Copies of this chain bind each other. A is one copy, B any other.
Amino acid sequence: MNRLLAVSTTIVAGLLLAGGTSVGAADLQPVPKMTDQEYKDAQFIYFDRCSGCHGALRKGATGKNITPDNTRKKTLAALEKILYEGTDGGMPGWGKDGFMTRAETDLMARFVQNEVPEPPEWNMKDMKKSWKVHVPVADRPTSPPKGKNWQNYFGVVLRDAGKVAIIDGDTKKTLNIIDSGFATHILRTSASGRYMYAIGRDGKATMMDMWADPPDLVAEVRTGIDARSIDTSKFKGFEDKYAVVGDYWPPHYVILEGDTLKPLKIVGTRGYTYDTNEYRDETRVASIVASHNAPEWILTLKETGVVLLVDYSRMEDGTITETKINAERFLHDGGWDSTKRYFLVAANARDTISVIDTVERKLVANIITGTKPHPGRGANWVDPEFGRVWATVHLGEGLVSIISTDPTKDYAWTVVREWELGGNSLFIKTHPNSTNVYCDNTINQEKSHVLTVFDINKPDALPREITFKKKVVHMEFNKDGDEVWVSLWDKDGEVVILDDKTLKEKARVKGLYTPTGKFNVYNTMNDIY
């Protein structure tokens, strides 16, 4: 090695080798043995139950960092207890709640003390291979089905079946049950409402044609290994043109042809945390909403706390413009205010709602709410005292936080009202034609069978509670806003339809396997919630 190299070696090689530095192994528990089959089984359970909160790389988000350098500080017995019984910090009791056997919690305790497996990439080649058009565009109907009020159809996620039931909102008849991805997460519609899109936890996107009679699967594509979000192009001139999927792994979003799901472009999201500027290999796309006012999608990046405004207007030549707005870390779910100018999104592990102004293209506020807000898309109404508001429920406590969304008020973007709720909750819903606000209490063992109903015009009155025989989750209105549909989340599940005025049961759709989210075509295409 010549002189100059030798001189510089100490400077540069030190850096090159910095990656190899390892933490002292003192006081760490030994790495438990696992067979190949056990490791493989554990990997799947981890994907299904753990990675949502802890991340594929186990570095934590909503849940804690559980890489081996942390987990090996605990004994196997201690880990197994946490897995079985849960914690006050929000870890579910997987054993206690009946989702894992003792053998499985033992398996998972050993797994999290073992090395983190590197998840594979998923590139265009893989997507193209998985892409199937079941009904070519030319073979589809050119007009809506006669005599059907198709805009009042509902897509109902049958979560653990990996299927979607399409139910006619007028007749309450199940028109079809359609295969979608594993543990289907959400549904969205195209701008016209004609197409309904599902995204599975396994990254599989499917699309269903509401004009077909009965509605049916027309295309599918696997966009990644793990995904949570999908939406479509809703701006004038781009209606029904594109869909977009946000993946958890690999960290990217994929732009798809709106009528065939043909994958057009993958854009990576790996980057740096907005605040400390640390690199995050796992930068998951948490939620997506489609702007009605610009050719844009709003995407939230969980680990880095960045909100992307993604302009798709130049997709014809493959150009994408991203405005990267600093918001808050651990972004999760969110929705529009009633004017569809402001996007409100939960940074759940930071107990915060971030508000993005999509016209001025900036963060308006980070609002501290209760513990781990989880709005779904939230709910918008007019409060008799405070005017326009948007509200969220919480994973971590029984609380509704009600935020003013009227920028002309001096209390805009603050919590103007709080309602105590029976239990920790997943979803909240109302409708412009309703004076009721509905909340589930799904995460609370004692209250999980209860639907809570607040009266917008009596904000200080105690809510009414309706108790069902099964776990209640997720509410959705019909097109006219005079019925609310409620899922009873069970293997022998049902959708209960209540009259919004009287709260009396109007009808019940039975024989649904684990129904969860419901999406009315009209309300979804118009983002009414």
Which one of A1-9, A189-197, A330-338, A454-462 is at the interface?
A: A1-9
Interface residues of A in 319-359 (CB under 8 A from B): 319-326
Q: A40-B17, A324-B321, A326-B319 are in contact. Are A272 and B267 (CB under 8 A)?
A: yes
Complex: how many Å from CA A397 to CA B122? 38
A209-251: CB near B (< 8 Å → 1, else 0) gives 0000000000000000100000000000000000000000010
Instruction: Give the residues in chain B near A320, CB-CB below 8 Å.
Output: 323-324
B12 near A44: Cβ-Cβ < 8 Å:
yes
CB nearest neighbor in B for A323 = B321
A16 touches B117 (CB 8 A): yes
**What 10 new A-B contacts, CB under 8 Å, besides A12-B182, A270-B271?**
A4-B160, A8-B202, A12-B47, A19-B121, A20-B118, A124-B276, A319-B325, A319-B362, A320-B323, A322-B324
A-B contact pairs, 28 of them (CB 8 A): A4-B160, A5-B44, A5-B48, A8-B162, A8-B202, A11-B202, A12-B182, A13-B41, A13-B43, A15-B202, A16-B119, A17-B43, A123-B279, A124-B276, A124-B277, A125-B276, A263-B277, A266-B272, A266-B279, A267-B272, A268-B270, A317-B326, A319-B323, A319-B324, A319-B325, A320-B323, A321-B322, A321-B324
Chain B residues within an 8 Å CB radius of A12: 44, 47-48, 182, 202, 225
Known contacts A104-B1, A321-B324, A325-B319; decide if A44 and B19 are in contact (CB<8 Å).
Answer: no
Which residues on B sit within 8 Å (CB–CB) of A118? 19-20
Interface residues of A in 285-336 (CB under 8 A from B): 314, 317-326
List residues of chain A with CB under 8 Å of any chain B CB.
Answer: 1, 4-5, 8-9, 11-13, 15-20, 40-41, 43-45, 47-48, 104, 117-125, 160, 162, 182, 202, 225, 250, 252, 263, 265-268, 270-272, 274, 276-279, 314, 317-326, 361-363
Contact, CB under 8 Å: B44 / A13: yes
A2 to chain B, nearest CB (A): 8
Within the assembled complex, what's the spacing in Å between the Cα atoms of A266 and B120?
26
Asked whether B268 lies within 8 Å of A318 as measured between CB atoms, the reply is no
Q: How far is the CA of A267 from the CA of B326 in the complex (A)?
A: 12
Given A8-B182, A48-B5, A271:B267 Cβ within 8 A: yes
Residue of B at shortest CB range from A224? B15
In the docked arrangement, what's the CA distance between A266 and B277, Å?
Answer: 6
Residues of B with C-beta under 8 A to A104: 1
Contacts of A122 in B (CB 8 A): 15
Residues of B within 8 A of A162 (CB): 8
How long is the Cα–Cα vector from A268 to B301 in the complex, in angstroms? 13
Check B250 against A265 for contact (C-beta < 8 Å): no
Complex Cα–Cα for A320 and B339 (A): 26
Number of copies: 2
- Give Cα distance in the complex from A17 to B44, angstroms: 9
Find chain B residues with CB under 8 A from A225 CB: 12, 15-16
**Chain B residues with CB below 8 A from A11, complex form:** 182, 202
Residues of B within 8 A of A124 (CB): 272, 276-278
What chain B residues lie within 8 Å of A41 (beta carbons)?
1, 9, 13
A460 → chain B, closest Cβ, in Å? 38
* A182 surroundings in chain B (CB, below 8 A): 8, 11-12
- List of B residues within 8 angstroms of A120 by Cβ: 15-16, 18-19
Q: How far is the CB of A206 from chain B (nearest CB, A)?
A: 14
B319–A322 touching, CB < 8 Å = no
A48-B5, A322-B322, A361-B319 known; A268-B279 Cβ under 8 A: yes
- With both chains docked as a complex, state the minimum distance between the C-beta of A122 and any C-beta of chain B, in angstroms: 8
Asked whether A13 and B1 contact (CB < 8 A) given A271-B268, A272-B123, A319-B325, the answer is no
Most buried by B among A16, A270, A325: A16
Docked-complex contact A44 and B272, CB < 8 angstroms: no
Chain B residues with CB below 8 A from A270, complex form: 268, 270-271
Selected contact of A16 from candidates B16, B44, B123, B274, CB within 8 Å: B44
Give chain B residues whose Cβ lies under 8 Å from the Cβ of A362: 314, 317, 319
Closest residue to A15 on the B side, CB-wise? B225
Q: Name the B residues within 8 Å of A276 (CB-CB).
A: 123-125
* Docked complex Cα distance between A124 and B276 (Å): 7
Query: In the complex, what's the smallest C-beta–C-beta distance from A321 to chain B, in angstroms?
Result: 4
Task: Tell me which residues across on chain B come within 8 A of A263, comparing CB atoms.
Answer: 277
A5 proximity list for chain B (CB < 8 A): 44-45, 48
Q: Which residue of B lies closest to A283 (CB)?
A: B268
Closest to A128 in B: B277
Q: Which of B123, B279, B323, B361 contacts A277 (CB 8 A)?
A: B123
A255 to chain B, nearest CB (A): 10
Question: How long is the Cα–Cα vector from A1 to B11 in the complex, in angstroms?
Answer: 53
Whether B323 lies near A318 (C-beta < 8 A) is no
Closest chain B residue, CB of each to CB of A320: B324
Chain B residues, CB < 8 A from A252? 272, 279
A354, B323: Cα distance in complex, Å: 25
Q: Which residues of B contact A317 (CB under 8 A)?
A: 326, 362-363
